[in-house]
Structure 1
Amino acid sequence: MERLNTLLANLVLTVVFLFPVSCNSCQSQKNAGKEMVVQTYTKVSPDFNADSAYHFVERQVSFGPRVPGTVAHEACGDYLLEKLASFGAEVFEQKAQVTHYNGQDIPIRNIIGSFLPEKEKRLLLFAHWDTRPFADEESDPDAQTTPISGADDGASGVGVLLEVARQLQQQSPDIGVDIAFFDLEDWGQPSFDKKFVPGEWWCVGSRYWSEDPHKAGYKASFGILLDMVGAADATFLREGYSMQHAPSVVSNIWSTASLLGYGNFFLQRNGGYITDDHLPVIEIRGIPCANIINLKGDGFAPHWHTRRDDMRNISRETLRAVGETVLEVVYRE
């Protein structure tokens, strides 16, 4: 939040709560003859720069829709590769051709940056960087076949993780961190296609990596997926598969967000089960993962899979809430 950002000094953030929570430090005050305990939390992570994250989102969108096989997709991939390398990561790239539901051969490109690769204990942070080739949630049939800009659905998670990567270079944590940008997450069969083709057509890049990771036998203590984390009115419910397979990871993230004052984003409510990039990582690699995703009851935000998913939806405040929470989880390990 803007008001919290102005209080940051010497990497210490103090958040005052009106109810008891665990904290790093507490202090007592007198109030009308009674002793009142004012509890404070001392942040251990570096400051997350929301303006920087916003720039990273905007830069991705400037390439145009990042649909696999397009010039915009190739150019943005080069940019992501260069940024991770410039932040000091050991960079890995996976390229392959996959046959999709319609028989089309589609190139995929997973991009992974490893920080402190010598560390045995590791965390996996990931997001998808491709954009959907169909705006199939548009009411106009002519618009449904056009690609989306994907400012929120794709670019927001990547933008937050690029800023996390920048902070990892400036202040090393005590653990290794791997940041993965997975491809071909969002090219599932469109809703206007009436001939259903059975198969795994969503989350193709993360499934490819889970079966053949950038390092043989790769393991991480846990993973955090960021998907649609930039909208101004975002509400992050506790996603179903995350609660099923990684309840302690969810608890860690949501309690950290509360300590930092972001409980208005990270709601203590359960959401639906979302097929997303965390599922292959959980099911194939056996890494417990939590999905931070903007959920609205049983569905998503109104701009989801429409041409309205552009920079008008992106909020620095939301990017900060997510990025600061993820950084704090990393540096508390």
Structure 2
Amino acid sequence: MTHRFLRLLWRPTALLAATVLLTACPDKKQTTEVEAPVEEPLRKAPVFSADSAYAYTAKQVSFGPRVPNTKAHVQCGDWLISEFKKYGLTVQEQPFTAMAFDGNMLRGRNVVARFAPKAARRVALFAHWDTRPFADKDKQKPNAPFDGAIDGASGVAVLLELARQLSTQPDSLTPNVGVDFILFDAEDYGYDTSTQANLENKLAGSGVESWCLGSQYWAKNLMPANYKADYGILLDMVGAKGGRFSREQQSVQAAPEAVAKVWNTANRLGYSDYFLYQDAPSITDDHVFVNQAGIRCIDIIDHVPYGDDYFPAYHHTTQDNMNMVDRATLKAVGQTVLQTLYQE
């Protein structure tokens, strides 16, 4: 996940701290007050199934690491498209080719699946579906591919379960907005200066960020054409044991109302142990490029509340496997996003 990809070390000084921004590193930590909206009663929403989301996570992992240019990547992409179509969504593929930081040409494809495509008001839900090709933070196997059960599969799994839930509701019980599920590819094939300083970043100086290649392509070639949404929510690393979600700074700056909606909804549902009223430094993730495309987007990403590292210990290691997946975390995120849609 997002980012999971890029990510640098965040070393706070007296808990508030200066942050060094590298590719995928957090900016200086700030505290921003987000005004809570006037509360309205919670509307009736479907029950998000953590078991179903867990099964979707396991299915993706069963293909193997979803690294671009591999058989597992192609097979998983085909399966994702078939699942969205099975639920009656309108599906479009956006193939693209992009050069990675190491010079490899990656064959990627973004996937756009639309629920209630004729609805004028829309909310966009994003995740990345690829996995990083090397566990460069793993002390024993830094060159090994890894499952990406959390970093990649968990966010996609939540979106698939949301799509399934919406598709089973009668018209009288669907939300008052259309929902677009947008899966980005080639997000996690980026250059990490903290682990790959011995390698050359061939994209340096090109104007192309080495992370988030799929969302960069989508932002410049919107699909559907001239796409608009009221706001967007990116899910990245949303299924781990002990997962915690702070209010990422760029999210607060770009879409404070959406941050307030999501975090306040989580609190009202009883998930305040997961969605912390705590600010986190900015991170380079897919939401950055969505915002650049003119769609206000926030990032729900697992951020360590305390300690020196921005990312949890499993990030970009072989520990990112099904043993790390927690149904309770999937439930907290999935039910919160589902309720947020029904509050519109």
Q: Which residue of 2 aligns with 1:304?
A: 315
The one-character-per-residue Cα deviations of 1:76-105 (angstroms, maximum 9, x if unpaired) are 001100000001100000112112222221
Partner of 2:182: 180
Distance 2:103 2:280 in 1: 34
- Taking only the aligned residue pairs, the percentage that are identical comes to 47
Residues 1:282 and 2:280 aligned together: no
The letter of the residue matching 1:293 is: I
Tell me if 1:230 matches 2:242. no
Equivalent in the alignment of 1:329: 340
Q: Deviations over 1:104-127 (max 9, x none)?
A: 211011111001111111100010
The structure 1 residue matched to 2:167, chosen from 166, 169, 176, is 169
Higher relative contact order (CA 8 A, sep 6+): 2
Structure 2 match to 1:68: 68
Look up the match of 2:270. Answer: 261
Cα RMSD over matched residues?
A: 1.3
1:8-63 CA distances to partner (integer Å, 9 max, x unpaired)? xxxxxxxxxxxxx9462xxxxxxxxxxxxxxxxx4421110110000000000000
Q: Secondary structure at the match of 1:291?
A: strand
Deviation track 1:267-318 (CA, whole Å, cap 9, x = no partner) reads 00001211000000001x1111110011014511110000110001111111
1:213-228 equivalences in 2 (<5 Å): 213-228=222-237
Distance 2:158 2:178 in 1: 18
The runs of 5 or more residues in structure 2 that have no matched partner are 1-37
Query: Greater strand percent: which structure?
Result: 1
SS in 1 for 2:65: coil
Q: Which residue of 1 aligns with 2:92?
A: 92
Aligned residue runs from structure 1 range 1-333, under 5 A: 22=39, 24=41, 42-140=42-140, 143-171=141-169, 172-190=174-192, 191-194=195-198, 195-197=200-202, 198=204, 199-283=208-292, 285-297=293-305, 298-333=309-344
- For 1:205 and 1:196, how far apart are their aligned partners in 2? 18
- Aligned residue in 1 for 2:24: none
Partner Cα distance (1:126, 1:45) in 2: 20
> Structure 2 CA distance, aligned partners of 1:289 and 1:203?
15
The alpha carbon displacement at 1:240 in A equals 1.1
Residues paired across the two proteins, number? 293
Give the SS at the match of 2:58.
helix
SS of 1:192's equivalent in the other structure is: coil
Counterpart-to-counterpart distance in 2, 1:97 and 1:22: 45
2:124 is paired with a residue whose SS is strand
CA contact (8 A) 2:102 2:201 kept: no
SS at match of 1:75: helix
Which stretches of structure 1, 4 residues or more, deviate above 3 A after TM superposition? none
C-alpha distance in structure 2 between counterparts of 1:255 and 1:103, whole Å: 44
1:80 is matched by which residue type in structure 2? L
- How far has the Cα of 1:151 moved from its partner? 0.2
The answer to whether the 8 Å contact 2:43/2:343 transfers is no
Q: 2: CA distance between counterparts of 1:23 and 1:173?
A: 15
**Residues 130 and 185 in structure 2, CA contact (< 8 A), matched pair in contact too:** yes
Q: Deviations over 1:128-164 (max 9, x none)?
A: 0000001000113xx1111111000000000000000
Report if the CA contact (8 A) 2:101-2:201 is conserved: no
Aligned partner letter, 2:332: A
CA distance in 2, matches of 1:216, 1:267: 36
* Match of residue 18 from structure 2: none
Q: Which residues of structure 1 form unaligned runs of 5+?
A: 1-20, 25-41
Larger radius of gyration: 1
Q: 1:22 to 1:248 in 2, by over 3 A?
A: closer
SS at 2:123 equivalent: strand
